[in-house]
Amino acid sequence: MAIELNRPALRHARALIRDGEVVRDERDDWSEAAPSADDENAFIDREGWTEYSHWHLGVDRDENGHTKKAYSFPFGDFRKVHRSGVISGESRAGQFDHDEIRDALKSLLELIDAE
């Protein structure tokens, strides 16, 4: 498993934040705000795998890009970036030594908090 930073997703997240598409919630709110498996499936059916990938800062290029297993570190609900998702992802990325993803999430959090 070689999870790397999904740069198109990072660009997408930055654009959403610049456009004010942010929920400024707290870390513990992510368990309620994160999309359910049914929400994910509906989004994939409606928008496709490329759009789905744009909501995840981690990508495992060894996995099939048309499976959820290929994507990790979600940061939003398919409409807005959630501060809670960014914080949760930053913590998880740090725990599992995904330093580039952790640093990208930290930069997103700083961008959110600067607004």
Question: For the chain, what are the domain ranges?
Answer: 3-114
> In the prediction, which pLDDT does 27 show?
82
* pTM of the complete model: 0.94
Model confidence over 5-64: pLDDT tens digits? 999 999 999 999 999 999 999 888 999 999 999 999 999 999 999 999 999 999 999 999
Q: What are the tokens at 77?
A: 């609900």
Q: Under DSSP, is residue 90 helix (H, G, I), strand (E, B) or coil?
A: helix
Q: Under DSSP, is residue 1 helix (H, G, I), strand (E, B) or coil?
A: coil
Longest distance between any two alpha carbons in the chain, whole Å: 37
> In the prediction, which pLDDT does 1 show?
60
Distances (CA, A) of 66 to 5, 39, 57, 70: 17, 16, 16, 8
